[in-house]
Copies of this chain bind each other. A is one copy, B any other.
Amino acid sequence: MDGNTILLATVGDPVAQVQTPARMPELFAARGINATWVPLHVTAANLPLVPAMLRGIGNFRGCSITVPHKMAMLTLVDRATPRARLSAGVNLVRREADGSLTGDMVDGLGFVAGLADAGHSVRGKSAWLVGAGGAGAAIAAALCEAGVAWLGVQDVDPSRARAVADRLSPHFPAIRIMAVDAAPAAPDFAINATPLGLRPTDPLPFAIDGLPATAVVCDIIMKPAITPLLHAAEARRLTIHPGAPMLTAQMPLYLEFFGL
């Protein structure tokens, strides 16, 4: 760290749980990048401060956006990539040379890449996605782009699940995309994209009783590394896929997005 250090950040509310600030220094060191990645605890009411900071702080190159700001940040950037618009949210924002702000969404790409790194291809498979917030919407879009055959989206707020399905369907006419309110018959992947599991007192995001023995149970929560959902799946001898690979797969995309 010195006066020339490039500043990057993760913006969220809360931020205590974010992993990127702890993970990035090793990557910066390995690549000889003089940058630091800090947490920024910003409430929804203060979110417009973040674009103001990106425009007004010379060495603040960009940030990642986490819960609950991904959808709101889409409305605060000057332009967004097609995958961000398809996801109705951004998890990355950078300042361009002309001072304008570009948003991107690589949560879904990171999730699918993390699955692939673990040997799980989603092409032609069926996926039950629980949680249609910022990360869930991005994962839904990326599953479609990766060629799932069937996608069921569920949310505690059914209108959010329908909105995701309605947004994606016209773009992927070959895929059966629908909002659901219960577990489908035999999904290949059952994915938690809700925040349930961050707190020890949270209920399970969904019941795993009806899942087939071949199902891969996925969680996007990174802390705890093995959530109660994944513990329950392990106890039933189902294959599990934790949250960490989603970030690991995204970190090089972050650097690429920020031109580092």
Contacts and interface: CB of A to CB of B under 8 A. Distances in A.
A49 interface: yes
Contacts of A21: 1-3, 5
Interface in A18-46: 18-19, 21-22, 25, 36-43, 46
A97 interface: no
A166 to B, nearest CB: 34
A39 B6 CA distance: 8
Contact of A2 (B7, B22, B43): B22
Please give the count of copies of this chain that the complex contains.
2
A15 interface: yes
Contacts of A14: 3
Nearest to A22: B2
A235 interface: no
A53 interface: yes
Contacts of A37: 1
Interface of A: 1-5, 7, 10, 13-19, 21-22, 25, 36-43, 46, 49, 52-53, 56-60
8 contacts: A1-B25, A1-B39, A3-B22, A41-B57, A42-B57, A49-B53, A49-B56, A53-B53
Q: What 10 A-B pairs are tightest by C-beta distance, nearest first? A: A41-B58, A46-B56, A3-B18, A3-B16, A49-B56, A1-B21, A41-B59, A2-B22, A3-B15, A3-B39
